[in-house]
Amino acid sequence: MENKKGDVSDGAQEKFYSDAKEYWAAVTPTVDGMLGGFAKISPTDINGSKSFLRPYLKISGGSVTPKCALDCGAGIGRITKRLLLPIFETVDMVEQDKHFCDNARAFIGPESSRVTNVFCSGLQDFVPAEGNYDLIWSQWVLGHLKDEDLVRFFQRCRAGLTESGIMVVKENTVEAEEKTFDDSDSSYTRTRAELSDCMLKAGFKILASQKQKDFPKDLYPVYMFALQ
């Protein structure tokens, strides 16, 4: 999440994904580890996400039934615990790192009984069950997907939503002409236009986008997108 720039390099597809997997395998399974040393921003992040999501929930006049949600790139379950479980009846998590998956239920605590599945998988390989989720939440993970894999992932997520469900994407963005590459964790930071293009290519309609407020100025601008 810290504003870092590296050389843009495609490299081998396998190396791109294996380098990211290796990076996260060395990260401690804590909130500070999940947020790259920026644990202090977690409350601000969660509050911003709640405010963005609220109008889409049925209780607020929206279409989303608070029944079943999916947390993508879930880590140890920070978003599952603090955003999704307080709203939704059940939550599934998908996370590629095994030691994050193994620590998730302990971190979440008693409410982890409402976490139905913890899928240990990279998003490039993950296939959500069709028509299953009222909300799919994806945050700070899509930079680890190549463009073509990102479009395919969005397509699978679109198929995984219920008829009235939505997907929310929350990501760092770069204010440049094109995405930058960070070779320390093997990830891209895309422009808003590039992210939007991938969403539209997948068949999504962008209902709204909004900048997260009150983050430190030395972080990338973070934007939320509601998709249907």
**What is the C-alpha to C-alpha distance for residues 114 and 19, in angstroms, rounded to an integer?**
33
Provide, rounded to the nearest whole percent, the portion of the chain with pLDDT above 90: 93
131 annotated ligand binder: no
Read off the pTM.
0.94
124 annotated ligand binder: yes
73 annotated ligand binder: yes
Q: From the CB of residue 183, how many other CB atoms can be counted at a distance below 10 Å?
A: 15
Whether the pLDDT of residue 51 is over 70: the answer is yes
pLDDT score of 11: 55
- CB-based contact 219:1 (threshold 8 Å): yes
123 annotated ligand binder: yes
78 annotated ligand binder: yes
Whether the pLDDT of residue 7 is over 50: the answer is no
Domain ranges, ordered by start, for the chain = 13-227
For helices 147-160 and 192-201, angle between their N-to-C axes, nearest 10 degrees? 50
Within 8 A by CB and 6+ apart from 3, the residues are: 218, 219, 220
- Strand 206-211's sheet: what is its strand order? 115-120, 90-95, 68-72, 133-139, 161-172, 222-227, 206-211
**What is the C-alpha to C-alpha distance for residues 222 and 205, in angstroms, rounded to an integer?**
20
Residue with tokens 């580890």, as numbered in its chain: 33
Residue with tokens 């395919």, as numbered in its chain: 152
Distances in whole angstroms, Cα of residue 62 to Cα of each of 104, 152, 164: 30, 27, 9
CATH of 13-227, one of 3.40.50.740, 3.40.120.10, 3.40.640.10, 3.40.50.150: 3.40.50.150
**What is the C-alpha to C-alpha distance for residues 158 and 228, in angstroms, rounded to an integer?**
7
Strands (E), 67-160: 68-72, 90-95, 115-120, 133-139
Whether the pLDDT of residue 3 is over 70: the answer is no
Longest dimension (CA), the chain: 47
Determine which of 5-19, 71-85, 201-215 has the lowest per-residue pLDDT on average: 5-19
At residue 28 the predicted structure's pLDDT band, cuts being 50, 70 and 90, is very high
- CB-based contact 24:184 (threshold 8 Å): no
- Give mean pLDDT, residues 5-28: 79
Distances in whole angstroms, Cα of residue 148 to Cα of each of 18, 152, 153, 155, 202: 17, 6, 9, 11, 10
